[in-house]
Amino acid sequence: MTQVLDAGSTSRDGGLDRAIVTLAAVVVLGTIMTVLDLTVVNVAIPTLGREFATSITAIQWVMTGYMLAFASMIPLAGWASERFGARRVWIASLLVFVTGSALCGLAWSIGSLIVFRVLQGLGAGLILPVGQTMLAQAAGPQRMGRAMSVIGVPMLLAPVLGPVLGGAIVEDWSWRWIFFLNLPIGAAAIVAARRLLPEARPQLGQRLDLRGLALLSPGVALLLYGFSEAGSAGGFERARTLASAALGAALVAAFVWHARARGKAALIDVSLFARRGFATAATVNFLLPAALFGTLLLIPLYYQLVRHESPLQVGLLLVPQGVGAALAMPLAGYLTDRIGARLVVVVGTVVAVVGTLAYTQVGAETSYAYLAAALFVLGIGAGSTIMPSMAAAFQALAREETPRATSALNVIQRTAGAIGTALLAIVLRCAIAANLPGGGQEGIQALATRSSNESAGAAGAIADAFATTFWVAAALVALALAPALLLPRTRPHARPESASPAKGVPA
């Protein structure tokens, strides 16, 4: 097991050697299931409603329960990796996720399905950040860009693959296979992890910050729930939605105050944000996901509301985004390691702005070729920005600081995605109300249930509302240029010897 790490440690200045590629492949195998589950189940919501003869409100908790459980576990990732070792936490999380998947596939009622989805989310919430921690520690600063470009694959391809996979399963098989398909993949990931991942030495003196956990985990969950509900409803008019977001924000603020007093013993070390390099990269990691994840919500909605495409067709229409991201990520990662993150992220952000601006011209009959080309450009921008900026954050850290920094960055990205999605959904609702009297009050989800004949006359007005909203989205993407210009400009150097693992000591 230690031989895998030692092989990787002998070429710090070279490319991604066999050991790092093996580690990355195992990490991607495990993470892609969990990220896909955030989107693939969306397609099955109508089918689940009919299967269990229940309301859409109850069915929504199949997604909401998973999301909240997922988010509440992220703050624990750093401490758990240190206390028990990343490999053990990774395998245990996979076991929980696979067990939850099996139980979801066997669910006999909507209540049991929601409970099992929560169990699934509890396992999933640790898998991505712990995987990022292992990969970042093994790669080192001089290969961080390429390593992060690998782990970015499931994050950026899930919105593309999710609707396609979910639509194919629901149309041709049973909805239960959405969950059963995780079993062979999860089993393979567990076997691969046991055989190939390096063992880690647990730090037995690491005590859990219980007060910090009691503040941050429910704070993040409530904040995400509030913004998710606001995005679905088109605003904060509901008292429950506003109260959830406000209480979540208050708990997160209380955690920051608590963590500043507790220092490095806190669940997340907020003193990291006092360093310019990490703080700048974290700011980019907030602004870019807020803008890009929100934008990538608008595009499927446009195809659904204006062009009346099925979920499977929408997934296929999103393929250019995945192709653009897949082509851009390896090159962006390589350049980040060679010349630093600043130029890479700045150019990628400009490309993302151009791709988003193209959608400000959409209409009810815009050419699919034009839309595909714009989405391809947007995919290149997304693939050239989020993971290189995350690599820049890791490059500013010592190796032992990576686990808790990973938790912080994942919390930032999840929160940013929820805020950006809610903001653009609210803007879209207001624009629809302005262009289509009564349409905004009807709600975006209600518009989606209209038949093609009912909404044919309104397609132009709704398309104009999307065009207006894409202007706001482009402005949000452009905001990330300011902190991107402050990212490190030069090629990263190796960590000081004191921060690097001794030869033969596993990651």
Residue 120 has pLDDT above 50, yes or no: yes
Across 29-38, 222-231, 249-258, the highest mean pLDDT is recorded for 249-258
Kindly state whether residue 403 falls inside one of the protein's structural domains. yes
Residue 245 burial by Cβ neighbours in a 10 Å radius (0-12, 13-18, 19+): buried
Question: Where does the pLDDT of residue 200 fall: very low under 50, low under 70, confident under 90, or very high at 90 and above?
Answer: low
Tokens of 170: 């629901």
Residue 503 has pLDDT above 60, yes or no: no
How do residues 304-332 score in pLDDT, each as one tens digit? 888 888 777 877 888 888 888 888 888 88
Give the contacts of 135 (CB within 8 A, at least 6 positions apart): 20, 23, 24, 27, 147, 148, 150, 151
| pLDDT confidence of residue 185 | 87
Number of other CB atoms surrounding residue 168 within 10 Å: 15
How do residues 263-316 score in pLDDT, each as one tens digit? 888 888 888 888 888 888 888 888 888 888 778 778 888 888 888 887 778 778
How do residues 142-177 score in pLDDT, each as one tens digit? 677 777 777 776 666 666 677 777 777 777 788 888
* Region for 140 from its dihedrals, namely left if φ exceeds 0, alpha if ψ lies in -120 to 50, beta otherwise: left
Residue 498 has pLDDT above 70, yes or no: no
Query: Which residue range forms the structural domain that includes residue 409?
Result: 2-499
CB of 8 closer than 8 Å to CB of 17 = yes
Query: What value does the mean pLDDT of the chain take?
Result: 79
Question: Where does the pLDDT of residue 499 fall: very low under 50, low under 70, confident under 90, or very high at 90 and above?
Answer: very low
Residue 353 has pLDDT above 60, yes or no: yes
| pLDDT confidence of residue 95 | 93
Residue 249 has pLDDT above 80, yes or no: yes
Give the contacts of 96 (CB within 8 A, at least 6 positions apart): 119, 120, 122, 123
Provide the CATH number for the domain around residue 18.
1.20.1250.20
Kindly state whether residue 116 falls inside one of the protein's structural domains. yes
Q: Report the distance separating Cα 322 and Cα 507, nearest Å.
A: 31
How do residues 426-466 score in pLDDT, each as one tens digit? 888 888 877 776 554 455 555 555 555 555 557 778 888 88
| pLDDT confidence of residue 96 | 93
42-56, 60-74, 103-117, 246-260: least confident range: 42-56
| pLDDT confidence of residue 101 | 92
| pLDDT confidence of residue 350 | 94
Q: How far is CA 488 from CA 24, 390, 412, in A?
A: 25, 12, 20
| Average pLDDT, integer, range 200-213 | 74
Longest CA–CA span in the chain (Å) reads 69
Question: Where does the pLDDT of residue 346 fall: very low under 50, low under 70, confident under 90, or very high at 90 and above?
Answer: very high
Q: Three-class SS string for 442-504?
A: HCHHHHHCCCHHHHHHHHHHHHHHHHHHHHHHHHHHHHCHHHHCCCCCCCCCCCCHHHCCCCC
| pLDDT confidence of residue 12 | 45
| pLDDT confidence of residue 24 | 79
| pLDDT confidence of residue 385 | 87
| pLDDT confidence of residue 94 | 92
Percentage of the chain lying above the pLDDT 90 cut:
13
| pLDDT confidence of residue 161 | 73
pTM, to two decimals:
0.78
| Average pLDDT, integer, range 233-260 | 85
To 10 degrees, what angle do helices 386-395 and 276-305 make?
A: 160
Kindly state whether residue 506 falls inside one of the protein's structural domains. no
| Average pLDDT, integer, range 38-63 | 75
Q: Per the structure, how many domains does the chain have?
A: 1
| pLDDT confidence of residue 502 | 36
| pLDDT confidence of residue 156 | 67
Q: Report the distance separating Cα 501 and Cα 192, nearest Å.
A: 24
Residue 19 has pLDDT above 80, yes or no: no
Question: Where does the pLDDT of residue 358 fall: very low under 50, low under 70, confident under 90, or very high at 90 and above?
Answer: very high
Percentage of the chain lying above the pLDDT 70 cut:
83
Kindly state whether residue 507 falls inside one of the protein's structural domains. no
Alpha helices in 306-362 (DSSP H): 311-317, 319-339, 341-358
Residue 43 has pLDDT above 80, yes or no: no
Kindly state whether residue 313 falls inside one of the protein's structural domains. yes
| Average pLDDT, integer, range 76-85 | 83
* Region for 53 from its dihedrals, namely left if φ exceeds 0, alpha if ψ lies in -120 to 50, beta otherwise: left
Kindly state whether residue 504 falls inside one of the protein's structural domains. no
Residue 3 has pLDDT above 80, yes or no: no
| pLDDT confidence of residue 4 | 40
Kindly state whether residue 150 falls inside one of the protein's structural domains. yes
**Torsion angle of alpha carbons 62, 63, 64, 66, nearest 10°?**
90
Among 16, 418, 481, smallest CA distance to 219 is for: 418
| pLDDT confidence of residue 77 | 84
Kindly state whether residue 311 falls inside one of the protein's structural domains. yes
Across 307-311, 370-374, 388-392, 485-489, the highest mean pLDDT is recorded for 370-374
| pLDDT confidence of residue 2 | 38
